């Protein structure tokens, strides 16, 4: 038996004994996705966390996702195999910066992308994800000013789709920023029949070249339903594993091999095993912050 097989066996055995569940984001490494009980996008994972009967959740994603799960299920133990797995975009706005922005626009409502810290969500009116950001902004009366943080690219995409002027912040995803229009052109030249599907965290010039702009779960769903046989995928490359596994008869090409999120890839099988063995690393959100952050998440869920 190989070392990896042994680790997998140990994880499965311990997971049962501990009454734990493993959740993995669509960008995790193939072996992590394969051992997970559920893989999905940031919203799907939190919802799965909220409905599970398991007492322990091993969250394989980045910190803001585990925090969201902890906010939605305060009675469960949420563990991250590696606490260093943060999201650079979520770190691009501080509480002080948000308070200053709110002071500058006292009448504005704050819509915050889920890729943000709990303390930022706690100061927001609505949370949103890449799959529902347009709907959330559309639900706000047209005469209301809206601050959209922290992703300027998702924000400008939402502004273009809703025809609303949004007050944006200078945040962005460094991984999606690596996908360039010339990458799409190169792939299109090689695979002219392929549909181009991109994540809304991409830069506007890339979004303008896409046939579809979808969240990670949206991409997986669309790939299954579409009659196309080939796809150019403009998002983090971890998703290719799931796409290929679920659609063996179709072909998927990354828009850019450079779109590899180093934070997502900090999790691995060994760390999952240690996490289960030692019950580390616990993700907790102070009660007061969790209560206020949950309000913005609940408002989002009511709308979608």
What does the binding site for ligand 13P look like in residue numbers (CB under 6 A)?
Answer: 26, 41-42, 115, 129-130, 173, 199, 201, 215-216, 236
Q: Does 89 bind ligand SF4 (CB under 6 A)?
A: yes
Nearest to 118 by CA among 304, 267, 288: 288
**Cβ distance to ligand SF4 smaller for residue 8 or 233:** 233
SS3 of 99, please?
A: helix
| CB crowding 219-241: b at 16 or more within 10 Å, else e | bbebbeeeeeeebbbbbbbbbbb
Using CB under 6 A, which of 44, 236, 254, 269 touches ligand SF4?
236
Closer residue to ligand SF4 in complex, CB, 209/266:
266
By the rule CB under 6 A, 289 interacts with ligand SF4: no
Whichever of 123 and 151 has its CB closer to ligand SF4, that residue is 151
87 binds ligand SF4 (CB under 6 A): yes
Please give the torsion angle defined by the CA atoms of residues 157, 30, 117 and 301, in that order, rounded to the nearest 10 degrees.
Answer: 60
Nearer to ligand 13P, 15 or 231 (CB): 231
Site string for ligand SF4, 21-50 (x = CB under 6 A): ------------------------------
User: Which token pair is 149?
Assistant: 């943080």
Give the range of 32-40, 116-124, 168-176, 204-212 binding ligand SF4 by CB under 6 A. 168-176
Geometric angle at alpha carbon 54, from 51 and 55, rounded to 5°: 115
β-pair partners for 56: 20, 77
Contacting residue, 132, 162, 175, 217, with ligand SF4 by CB under 6 A: 175
Distance in Å from the first CA to the final CA of the chain: 47
DSSP code per residue over 22-77: EEEETTS-HHHHHH-SEEE-HHHHHHHHHH---SEEEEES-HHHHHHHHHH-TTSE
Nearest residue (CB) to ligand 13P, 115 versus 256: 115
Q: Which residues bind ligand SF4 (CB under 6 A)?
A: 62, 87-89, 115, 173-176, 201, 236, 261, 263-264
């Amino acid at each position: 038996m190989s070392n990896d097989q042994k680790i997998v066996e140990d994880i499965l055995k311990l997971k049962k004994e501990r009454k734990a569940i493993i959740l993995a984001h669509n960008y995790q490494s193939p072996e992590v996705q394969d051992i997970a009980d559920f893989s999905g996008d940031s919203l799907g994972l939190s919802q799965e966390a909220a409905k599970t009967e398991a007492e322990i959740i091993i969250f394989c994603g980045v910190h803001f996702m585990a925090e969201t799960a902890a906010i939605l299920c305060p009675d469960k133990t949420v563990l991250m195999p590696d606490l260093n797995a943060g999201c650079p975009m979520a770190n691009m706005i501080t509480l002080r910066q948000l308070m200053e922005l709110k002071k500058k626009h006292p009448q504005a409502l704050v819509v915050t992308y889920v890729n943000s810290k709990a303390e930022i969500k706690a100061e927001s009116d609505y949370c949103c994800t890449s799959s529902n950001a347009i709907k959330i902004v559309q639900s706000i009366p047209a005469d209301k000013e809206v601050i959209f943080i922290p992703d300027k690219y998702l924000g400008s995409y939402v502004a273009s789709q809703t025809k609303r002027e949004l007050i944006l912040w200078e945040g962005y995803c460094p991984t999606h920023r690596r996908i360039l229009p010339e990458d799409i052109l190169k792939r299109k030249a090689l695979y002219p029949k392929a549909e181009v599907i991109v994540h809304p965290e991409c830069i506007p010039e890339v979004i303008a070249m896409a046939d579809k702009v979808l969240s990670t779960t949206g991409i997986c769903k669309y790939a299954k339903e579409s009659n196309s046989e080939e796809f150019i995928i403009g998002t983090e490359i971890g998703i290719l594993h799931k796409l290929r596994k679920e659609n063996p008869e179709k072909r998927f090409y990354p828009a850019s091999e450079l779109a590899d999120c180093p934070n997502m890839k900090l999790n691995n099988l060994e760390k999952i095993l240690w996490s289960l063995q030692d019950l580390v690393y616990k993700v907790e959100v102070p009660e007061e912050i969790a209560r206020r952050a949950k309000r913005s998440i609940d408002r989002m869920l009511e709308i979608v």
